[in-house]
Structure formats: C-alpha cells, structure tokens
Amino acid sequence: MLKQLKRTYSLDDVAIEPRYSMNTYAMKMLTVGGRIPVYSSSSEAVGTMEMSEVMSEKTMGSFLSTRYDITELYDFFFEGNSHVIPTFGTSENQLHKWNELKGTLPAGKIKTVYLQPQTSAHNIQYLFEVGNFKDENPDIEIIAGPVSDPFVAARLIEVGASIVKVGNDSRIITYNGHTSGVGIGHASALTDCVEVVHQRGGMVMASGYYDDNSDICKCFALGADFVELNETLIGHTESYGKTITEDGQMTKNGVEYRGSAREYISEIMTTLSDCLEHTGYQSIDQLKNANVVLVQ
C-alpha cells in the first residue's frame, strides 16, 4: 500500500512576521506573573540545583532531575521556591520517594510536580498514572508529557495535568538525539496541540530541540505558554558532570565547555526583547498574537 506522507513543519520552516507598531522604545515586558516563562530542563545534565539558582536569579523557572534523594530535596524545598519544579518518575520507587517527601515537608512547600513517563507519554498507561497521581494529590499541579499527539494532549488535561509539554521535535533525529526515528515537526506539534490544551483550561510548555534563541521566540508566537530548554544549557558550569581538559580543549557533557550559564541566559532575554521590538508587541503574552509564516 502506498503511504501518503503528511507534511509537518519544524521551527526552521517558519518565521515570525514583522508588524508595524507605534510603540516607542519603552521597556518590554518579558515577564508573565513576575517570571520569564522559560525553564531549564529536567534532564540529568541540566536539571541541577545549581542551574535552578542561576535561572531564579534571572526570574526564570527550572526543573530538577530525578536523581536527587529525599534529604537533598527536603533541604532544598524547605525554604520554598515555587518556580523550581521537582521531577518524579512513575515507577514504584519514584512514587515512594515522592510520598515520603510529601509526608515530611510542611504542606504547601511544593505546589507543582513534573511527572516524568517511564517510556512514552503517548502510552495509555501514562494517562492512568497521571490520573492516579492527581487523585492522590489533588492540591498538586501536574506537568505531564512530552507529547505531540493532540488527542493525548487533551486527555492529559482531562485526567488532571495542568501543563502539558509538547515535544518529539523531528530535528532531534538529525542531531542523533535518539535512534528510533520517531519525531514530528515542532511547529506542527505546537499548532496541533496548543488549541486543544487551551480549550480545556490547560497550558502548553514547548519542549523541543532548540539550538538558536530565535526558536524560543517562535514557540511563544505559536502559542506556547512556557518554553523548556535543554541542549543550549548543556556544557555550562551549572550543568551536571565533570569538566575535562584534553589537548588544551575544555569539554563538559561531551560538548565544548561554555562557562557559567548566566551570560547565555542574559542573551535569551536580549533575543526576546528584540523579537518584541520587531513585531511591535510589548509583552510575551502579546507575542502569541503574532503571525507565523512559512519561509520555504
């Protein structure tokens, strides 16, 4: 049987259309609710407490990886930080760790949890796991995903998630991010999922392969409420792992050592501000009204 190939679009295929504006060069509002809606990833390399401190300095959010034990999490969250999100898997051991932490921390210290799937977030088992977690933790906001199927995105909101990560960026395949060959154009994934999630009162966190700060702007223009970064934060001082020097070349996490993430995060803020300037908007929220065009 002849396969009919569906055309999907990556962020490389689209651009944000410039717009006439009578705005002056006034300060642009990069924050939403007092925070810039950009998060560092929960990956092993990036989801460190050190990275979360730097992100917090710049009024951005962050995820912690699953590797931290109960004592480390207790000490970290006892002081409270609502913009740092702990990650827990759906295995028995991970859920036990969550329940033990919840039983020792004062109520309200953790308000949001990223529930990381064991395999694929598209699996029906994950829907049950998200629903069960919400039933047992009705006061906890759940971040779920990543998914690219709008049907699954909608179901995740319906079973209790508040925020759905939308990912499976096809560009990861090009850069050997995985070997399964599974992926979809990230721009298409966002346009497919944003509306169904928003219709159900949920929010979307774009979670793709970003090797350029303009990708962040494009995600907001495509309707994302938040953007999660991974690749561009790997190799910084605050990422996990040792810095290695060989033949005068410093590397970390298998990439060139990049120094502290502070300078890079400042570059993100500059890019967002420039995008608002060229599109005539004064806030990231308004950027969702921008026209996105194909550049093929």
Residue that has been written with the tokens 């992100």 in this structure: 55
Q: Record the tokens describing residue 270, joined without a space.
A: 């500059």
Q: What is the pLDDT of residue 22?
A: 67
pTM: 0.93
Q: pLDDT 10s per residue in the chain (296 long)?
A: 667 778 899 999 999 999 887 666 555 788 888 889 999 999 999 999 999 999 999 999 999 999 999 999 999 999 877 789 999 999 999 999 999 999 999 988 999 999 999 989 999 999 999 999 999 999 999 999 999 999 999 999 999 999 999 988 777 765 555 667 788 899 999 999 999 999 999 999 999 889 889 999 999 999 999 999 999 999 999 999 999 988 888 999 888 999 999 999 999 999 999 999 899 898 999 999 999 999 97
- 252 phi and psi angles, rounded to 5 deg: -150, 135
Domain range summary for the chain, segments of one domain joined by +? 11-294
Report yes or no: 5 and 199 within 8 Å, Cβ to Cβ: no
Q: Which residues, in sequence order, are CB contacts of 112 under 8 Å at separation 6+?
A: 82, 85, 140, 141, 142, 143, 162
Is residue 284 within 8 A of residue 30, CB to CB? The reply is yes
Q: Is 14 exposed, middle or buried (0-12, 13-18, 19+ CB in 10 A)?
A: buried
Which two three-digit tokens encode residue 35? 């925070």
11-294 has which CATH code? 3.20.20.70
Report pLDDT for 25: 57
Give the per-residue pLDDT at 104.
95
Q: Which two tokens stand for residue 81?
A: 């930080």
**Cα–Cα nearest to 94, from 134, 151, 38, 133:** 133
Q: What amino acid occupies position 121?
A: A
